[in-house]
Amino acid sequence: MLVLLCLAGAAFYYFRTQSPGSLEPGNALSSATRELLRNLDKPVELHFYVVLDPETVAPSTRAFASRVEGLLEHFEREGVGRISVVRSASEAAAAADGIQPFNIELGKACFLGIAAVSGECRETLPRLSPRWEHALEADLGRAIERVVSTKPLPAAPAAPTAVDPSIVAEVRRILPDPATVPLDQGKQRLRAVAVQEFKEAIAEMEQLVRQAEEQFARAQALGTEAERAAAAKRLDEAQAAQAQRIKEIAARAQSRVEAFEKLKAAAAH
């Protein structure tokens, strides 16, 4: 579940200043995006996560997801073998890639996001929104630009086989006597705690992201090129921080489940 992150460049790419057009199925990509895709020197996978509960997600959001699918097909076509789209409806994979869950309070967690991956480098668009549909082509182009141009972090040393004592302590705090808790019930309780942590993290970060989005919208409409660049950088930083926080919660939740399984196995012997 853990993923390697890339060193994020602070440079502002020109895609934000382009007019990407709508995501209607018949529309072609902007000339800036086509030029980027045709000059890629590395392959890029676009992991498209769509987990939408029909009971809680509005038809307009499902229609938006279909338009995003059309945009990704344009990217794949223009990439001529260097862009491939990987579609997934896995909640676990979405969380591991830093995709932001939503509608948790309504029941089932939903996910709608994209991760651009090249080698060990990864950039995440954690939650796609119809409100920012006009900027999606530019955002995705910039994410692709980053993963092909940044250097990956050095490989982490192999994880120790022993269970992290802090994780065991968290499991025992949630399940005071894990040996007596049935495996399925214990996992369900651990996941419920993780869902609550997701909710709290999203609520905490959402205000910062919303402020950055509003600043970016104002800069796009009225600001100078330097102001647009600064606003775009702030938005990127807020979104990256939110995606990283979600990724860390997902990794920690998985570690708790694995620790619980090991505690159960040890108790059985």
Q: Where are the domains of the chain?
A: 14-149, 165-268
Condensed to tens digits (0 to 9), the pLDDT of residues 126-145 reads 889 898 898 899 999 999 99
**Quick one: pLDDT band at residue 19, thresholds 50, 70, 90?**
very low
Q: Does 111 or 8 have the greater pLDDT score?
A: 111
C-alpha distances in angstroms, 42 versus 81, 138, 148? 10, 19, 6
Q: What is the DSSP letter of 179?
A: G
* CB hemisphere CA count around 248 (13 angstroms): 9
Condensed to tens digits (0 to 9), the pLDDT of residues 205-256 reads 777 777 877 887 888 888 888 888 888 888 778 777 777 787 788 888 888 8
Helix (H, G, I), strand (E, B) or coil at 187: helix
- What class, spelled out in words, does domain 14-149 have in CATH? alpha beta
End-to-end CA distance of the chain: 28
Evaluate the CA torsion angle 138, 139, 141, 146 in order and state its sign: positive
Residue 63 pLDDT more than 90?
yes
CA distance 122 to 77: 21
Residue 113 pLDDT more than 90?
yes
